[in-house]
Structure 1
């Protein structure tokens, strides 16, 4: 057998929100409330049969009804403009704010860049080390080229001298052979 429905009401701005539900918990769920509005005195059970008719005809559905007319609302406004309240200290806000309000005021910090910055720095250091090693290697290669050119120049000069000696010795030998043949 289904549970008997009750009608509950809470204030939402200039409206009252009515819902026909089997329990206060079901009413809170229908309103999307995160806190118990009944224990805070912000919601109540409706016993007036005229106010209960529409919610009972549509159980579980939130029905909004304006409290008064637009003229009633405008008449309730103060004649003098409302001055903005003085700014309170941060500590006063923290003591009076609800946990949900605290979360709304405090922005979520961005993700940490520590790992990215460390990786970028590691790449930069590796590039610098590579550039330094390459510069040193190029200097050593240039030195090897200078030594090689000097060695090749020295070798060429020495070989020229040795070739001249060999040619002279060969000429002397041929001359000696010719003289020997004639004896």
Structure 2
């Protein structure tokens, strides 16, 4: 004997998705959900005959029903101004279907001002530190050049003084040899 069908509903944006299925698991599979929407509280079993009639006619098939007219949906988007109203064709709705609650007015998006200022300050600090480091690198290179030049001059001077010392020592030995006899 086949299992009795139940009707389940979940919200999909501006629509409710109904499905007639034998279990919550079967309903989740029909919706293609990869998480348990019932445990999260975003899906439920529906018992109102006016809401279940269409789904029970087509078991296993997802039936989407608009949650309001175009004006209500545009208002929920939080746009600045609704577009000019066009002639609308009313959708047939079951008489016993409850009207959706009016959506709350959306809060404005949070300001990025502090984040932008902090990012700009960080970027300025990084540039300043890079300039300071480059200046110190140039100073270090200049000091290293001066050290190399000093070392070269020092070696040349020591070589000249060693030569003068060796010449003076030779002259002294010769004079000492003549004196000693």
TM-score, normalised to structure 1, is 0.44
Could you tell me the TM-score, scaled by structure 2's length?
A: 0.44
